[in-house]
Structure 1
Amino acid sequence: MPASGPVARRTLVLGAAAAAGTAALGGTASAAAFGWSDDGANYVIDTGAQLVFKVGKSNGDLTSLVYRGVEYQGYGGKNSHIESGLGSSTVTIGQSGSTILVSVTHGTLRHYYAARSGENNIYLWTNKADTSVSATRFILRVRAGLFLNDEPDSYTYAPTAIEASDVFAKSDGQTRSKHYSKLRVADYTHVGWSSGGVGLWIVRSNHEKASGGPFYRSLLRHQSADGGGLYEILYYGQNQTEPERFGLQGPYVIALTDGGAPSASLFPGTLTTPWADSLGMAGYVGASGRGRVAGVGITGRDTAYAYTVGLANSAAQYWGSARVSDGYFSIPGVLPGTYTLTVYKDELAVHTGTVTVTAGTTTTLNTIAIPASNDPSNATAIWRIGDWTGTPRGFKNAELMTYAHPSDVRAAPWTGNVVIGSGTETSAFPCYLWKDVNSGIVVYFRLTAAQAAAAHTLRIGVTTAYANGRPQVVVNDTWTSAIPSPPTQPGTRSLTNGSYRGNNHTFTYSVPASAWLTDTGAYNTLRINVVSGSGTTSYLSAGTSIDAIDLLA
């Protein structure tokens, strides 16, 4: 309904087509009270279901979120908003049929809230055009006491800060941080809480304007004694592997439910918004302006692993899973342009190519053949620790490190040497090596006479590094490798904030035959040291994450 009093801001006139397509989505109900009003400081939107929310007219903050008569928004005197709040902004509102749109303009940034008649959802889009505005996230701040938990990303129970101001330890030695989500972007569709018959969620967008690809890890939510926060991260500087992308990102959805998960119809890859086509949002491209990429299959795969196909250029990113049986993949909703196509075995790139996408059409690719040489696992090895997946999976403490600090009481000791042939080579080898913690770990192995008579290539794969940490090796305390140059890696924390994902890199060392022991009954030793002049101490000293280690035949 239109505002009953004077409206301080201009009211938008939306296209009539915005009223079309009222397909039922999660949280639908009677729409008898659908409309908006102006309370002087806020635009008040009633979805006609069980949700009423307010948007500040001066700054575009989400100032109130009332569901079933209960206020959920806010803590510490703070609202929900882009970044830490935009400040003075131009805020407008308009209604056309079944849709209400609130538009926020702050310099070159545009932010939008949309409500649909009869839904307990708020649809959000954010268009960051350049670096003039520091807008990398939307945070939904939630009042204290409504969704208490003690999960890894929670620090409700007043723990002690052990790193920066965002990693904490409880009295029992377990660690907590908002960074400890456990999840890669590809692993989740929504994040939130459920309690007392109410679910409060943010359903993520397709991340086409985000950076880092399908395996990127970032904070998703936090919980403290002051309240909780749910995030849609559009760009986050920690352990970031790609430049920032610009343009309209969304929709991401604030969804209220009866305690269950949000409807799958809201999930990225499923959600369609034809009703938004005529709303006039800056940078919006509807389904008709997008194309699809489909591949008939991928050969040369190791079927023990999942394969992912990614598309990326400077403007957008997308990904899809390859079918286990034959490698077929389909990636819809792609903006027109030319993309680098990458095939990942788990998280390791094993093929790259290019593909051009045209609006309204499907680009069909013939079978992609992965050359055997592209997968380092295919090389014949005398011994191998782990496997080449682009992850430290299987190594000691690897799973724990996606949701805990290395100092956590649950972590197995970071020291300890490894014997080839023991059957525990991978599980006994620590997933991370640091200069100040466990540098100098030794691998023991035997060689046959023929093997000891020849030079061999040693390979150490890493997934990321902190403070330029990289491995230098010593064989039998007689031969020492040169110090390798550091590969390009993110310059921020990684190993201590739940992420091993950086730029996969393989170090190779040509070990001469003179370095090996000629006694076939004796153990050769490989000592792996972490070298770097950067970093500080302990778990913030120079370090690296291990993918695989092998000695080639």
Structure 2
Amino acid sequence: MSGSPSHAVTRRAFVAGTAAVAGSAALAGPLAGAAVAAGFGWRDDGTNYVVDTGAALVFKVSKSTGDLTSLVYKGTEYQGYGGKNSHIESGLGSSTVTLAQSGSTILISVTHGTLRHYYAARAGENHIYLWTNKADSSVSATRFILRVRAGLFLNDEPDSYTYTTSTIEASDVFAKPDGQTRSKHYSKVRVIDYDYTGWSAGGVGLWIVRSNHEKASGGPFYRSLLRHQSADGGGLYEILYYGENQTEAERYGLQGPYVIAFTDGGAPPSALFPGTLTTPWADSLGIPGYVPASGRGKVAGVGIAGRDTAYPYTVGLANPSAQYWGPARSSDGYFSIGGVLPGTYTLTVYKGELAVYTTSVSVSAGGTTTLNTITIPSTNDPSNASAIWRIGDWNGTPGGFKNAALMTYAHPSDVRAASWTGNVVIGSGTETSAFPCYLWKDVNSGIIVYFKLTAAQAAAAHTLRIGVTTAYANGRPQITVNDWTSPIPAPPAQPSTRSLTVGSYRGNNHTFGYSVPASAWLTDTSRYNQLRINVVSGSGTTSYLSAGTSIDAIDLLA
């Protein structure tokens, strides 16, 4: 996976000289056809560049569009369904496509307006390395989709709709006859949770190993579609920017490499993973925007104090140009984030998915920015506030609430979902598991929480807090406590697209605070006070697409 490319000048007989000349502008350094592995080389069939990796993989790239038009592994064609190729977005159309070979590397360059896209093959490897450079918004190119022929990797997973044709939302959420739901959106995992996606069957594994996502948007906890399987074939994705439930602006620049990898059925080699992949062989390829390891830096922290050790902590770096993240060690909070482009970043410490500390750090090429122990102020973690009662905990997710786990891979109408209605009694022992993770104006608005107060508690005003992780159509909670009703709060900034119905609760964490006067409480301590939570908004439609919100925690402060 590493080492400098060979520059042997042995020319294979079938290499088209005209193509080699055309590719000379795409590569810096010596150019020559090289027989560095049995069968390794390329040819021009008039329509496509045909690349043989010298292992078991032969692929074709259209000379006119830059589409991947063929993907043959061990003699079997895997590319294509519905007459469509594999490509950036839905295909670029007319493009300038060139090829050049430098020793053990073949690079195909695609230019379409301000967009540049690259395919690289290495001698003896069953992999294709891809880079995409979106310079601005003039070209729509936010994903690469690898289209795979039908019948090769049948599955019936949450992100499949092979076995169902009943559409229940938009044109991309489906219901099976047994009431289970399927959609390409239901990936289950966050970006931080996976290194690759794909399938394995019949002794063949086909995977896309994701890039480090330094030019993507949404941070470590973003969720997006990774793959799908339908009656006409399957799709594997590398999402560079997806305008659904996005919390950040789009970043521009060179993204990659991400890798199409074939195996003999097992997982792709860990050397391809975004945390371990090194590409010194690409340093001299002349790819605009490419920054080698020597041009990058590192941020390391000796520890994080003030953590709640019941939760994992993640450290993120972000600025308008790039994003990175890494785990904090559970024992002491030590962290190290490498491969960072030079610049100034906002460093954020997350408890679960809740930001509890931020600072600014600067990174220089070839340097390590070392931070002394970070101490999280007690007041930064809302869990440290003394509460009369609390439902859930403050970790930036709806984890533990009713239906929370299911909602990352199913539609709210799924037959496996417990009833979205039903009230909650403080002291029952099931407060969190009985409270629904999502509230909608048209589904379960008006849920009631019953609780008792002591005489001393009822004699004082208290603050009630409701934490949310995202909202759809400006849905936000208004509360009624017995006969007292709060003002309608202003909606916080949240993504404007679907979220709760496409497997994502990740938006902008926000805490609503309600100052409840002493006059609102019941003075009879034997009776239950009633907290009613309504979802208010003038937007949204009906049912699960009515205005809604996702719950992080609810508590009544002492």
TM-score, length of structure 2 as denominator length: 0.96
1:475 aligned onto 2:478:
no
Q: 1:363-384: per-residue Cα shift (whole Å, max 9, x none)?
A: 0001000000000000000000
Alignment partner of 1:551: what SS? strand
Following superposition, the deviation at residue 550 of structure 1 comes to: 0.1
Partner of 1:45: 51
2:547 maps to which of 539, 542, 549: 542
Partner of 1:27: none
Q: Distance in 1 between matches of 2:76 and 2:212?
A: 30
Equivalent residue runs for 1:129-208 within 5 Å: 129-208=135-214
1:495 aligned onto 2:507:
no
CA distance 1:127–1:346, shift in 2 (3 Å): same
Following superposition, the deviation at residue 6 of structure 1 comes to: 4.4
Q: Distance in 1 between matches of 2:498 and 2:135?
A: 27
2:89 maps to which of 80, 83, 91: 83
Following superposition, the deviation at residue 11 of structure 1 comes to: 2.0
Which amino acid counterpart does residue 84 of structure 2 have in structure 1?
A: K
Q: Distance in 2 between matches of 1:287 and 1:39?
A: 37
Q: Distance in 1 between matches of 2:349 and 2:238?
A: 26
Following superposition, the deviation at residue 158 of structure 1 comes to: 2.9
Q: Distance in 1 between matches of 2:225 and 2:30?
A: 37
Following superposition, the deviation at residue 269 of structure 1 comes to: 1.2
Partner of 1:25: none
* Preserved contact between residue 29 and residue 285 of structure 2 (Cα < 8 Å): no
Equivalent residue runs for 1:116-135 within 5 Å: 116-135=122-141
Partner of 2:513: 508
Partner of 1:277: 283
Partner of 1:305: 311
Partner of 2:4: none
Partner of 2:231: 225
* Preserved contact between residue 159 and residue 171 of structure 1 (Cα < 8 Å): no
Which amino acid counterpart does residue 440 of structure 1 have in structure 2?
A: G
Alignment partner of 1:308: what SS? strand
Which amino acid counterpart does residue 405 of structure 1 have in structure 2?
A: H
Equivalent residue runs for 1:8-23 within 5 Å: 10-12=22-24, 14-15=27-28
Partner of 1:325: 331
In structure 2, the gaps of 5 or more residues are 1-11
Q: Distance in 1 between matches of 2:74 and 2:472?
A: 47
Q: Distance in 1 between matches of 2:101 and 2:208?
A: 24
Q: Distance in 2 between matches of 1:191 and 1:162?
A: 26
Q: 1:284-306: per-residue Cα shift (whole Å, max 9, x none)?
A: 00000000000000000000000
Following superposition, the deviation at residue 5 of structure 1 comes to: 6.5
Q: Distance in 1 between matches of 2:131 and 2:547?
A: 39
Number of aligned residues:
543
* Preserved contact between residue 48 and residue 63 of structure 2 (Cα < 8 Å): yes
Alignment partner of 1:148: what SS? coil
Partner of 1:97: 103
CA distance 1:395–1:17, shift in 2 (3 Å): farther
Q: 1:403-437: per-residue Cα shift (whole Å, max 9, x none)?
A: 00000000000000000000000000000000000
* Preserved contact between residue 464 and residue 503 of structure 1 (Cα < 8 Å): yes
Equivalent residue runs for 1:391-470 within 5 Å: 391-470=397-476
Which amino acid counterpart does residue 483 of structure 1 have in structure 2?
A: I
Q: Distance in 1 between matches of 2:322 and 2:137?
A: 17
Give the share of equivalent positions with the same residue, in percent: 84
* Preserved contact between residue 209 and residue 273 of structure 2 (Cα < 8 Å): yes
Alignment partner of 1:450: what SS? helix
Alignment partner of 2:287: what SS? coil
Following superposition, the deviation at residue 452 of structure 1 comes to: 0.3
Which amino acid counterpart does residue 188 of structure 2 have in structure 1?
A: K
In structure 1, the gaps of 5 or more residues are 20-29
Alignment partner of 1:155: what SS? coil
* Preserved contact between residue 289 and residue 335 of structure 1 (Cα < 8 Å): yes
Q: 1:14-45: per-residue Cα shift (whole Å, max 9, x none)?
A: 455899xxxxxxxxxx9211111000000000
Q: 1:48-88: per-residue Cα shift (whole Å, max 9, x none)?
A: 00000000000000000000000000000000000000000
Following superposition, the deviation at residue 9 of structure 1 comes to: 7.4
Q: Distance in 1 between matches of 2:187 and 2:327?
A: 22
Greater than 3 Å deviation, 4+ residue runs = 4-9, 13-19
2:532 maps to which of 505, 513, 527: 527
Q: Distance in 2 between matches of 1:232 and 1:12?
A: 29
Alignment partner of 2:22: what SS? coil
Alignment partner of 2:271: what SS? helix
Following superposition, the deviation at residue 205 of structure 1 comes to: 0.2
Alignment partner of 1:377: what SS? helix
Following superposition, the deviation at residue 282 of structure 1 comes to: 1.1
Which amino acid counterpart does residue 474 of structure 1 have in structure 2?
A: T
Following superposition, the deviation at residue 159 of structure 1 comes to: 2.7
CA distance 1:86–1:8, shift in 2 (3 Å): farther
Q: Distance in 1 between matches of 2:77 and 2:151?
A: 12
Partner of 2:220: 214
